[in-house]
Structure 1
């Protein structure tokens, strides 16, 4: 993709200004003139705007996964390998698995508490978290509305959820 933040717009301007537009476009129709103009601008853009590879999303880790947790997970992986080689006991590994699971649960809960505290000031972080949690589309189970009636239609479910979130925020 083009990295317009690092573009040399001075060079771009000089490249476009060098083209003798009166001579190039003289006697040309609108469509033909547009094609020539576009070709020249794209040629100047190739020289003035650097290209950068897009980052893939695989490198991004979840917000709750801090450095301390990462170290614990690495240790768990190392002990697993040792256990498979017979150099560590299963109890050691099982204890590490339990502690890692507990720490992950605590970290996720802490992140959700922090989000709940700052959601009014920073809506973007809240929606980023929600979108990261999205899984495959599943049917939403029947809901109870304010009157205690069971709601099964999608539109009615949307209204119930909208009313709930409106009352919370």
Structure 2
């Protein structure tokens, strides 16, 4: 993707005097490149807990084999072997869960989402909203009606300002910003320190901007 962006003549593509037009061109090029180069996948729902490891699966398989052997023979030796395999599985499960939870705590500052996602998955009661009472006394029956009721309530708490009298600011500066210097080095520094966040209305993911910072610092520094 970096090579693709490097091959674009940004000065020619973003030649409009309107910053809005240039932004639309930039946004379209970046989103098209993301569709073309960024692989997509559909995550599969896993029934196993996040701390599950291959060694646990192997230990459980060995436990089941030992149990089957004991059921066939009913010997004390096979039962003792089964208990040993069973205890190994319990120990591995406890250790793996404890290690995973400790890693979430250690990485809490850098990745708090993983911690809260795990805590939420352990909740047995899922919080929900509704039904709510509408203005006519009836109850809401859909998510759209709940949204409307909440929106009306929040709207009612807004302060109604008197727009007939708007005071003038006590001081107005006569100075204006004439020259704005946005260099590629400044843009590169800002893009390189972006955090991994969910895309906003522009649909551009911060990871794309960060990974392609050296190529995208040029169009970001172009001023109409």
Task: Indicate the TM-score class for this superposition, using the shorter chain for normalisation.
Answer: 0.3 to 0.5
Report 1 or 2 for greater relative contact order, CA contacts < 8 Å, sequence distance ≥ 6.
2
Give TM-score scaled by structure 2 length: 0.34
* Higher-helix-fraction structure: 1
Give TM-score scaled by structure 1 length: 0.44
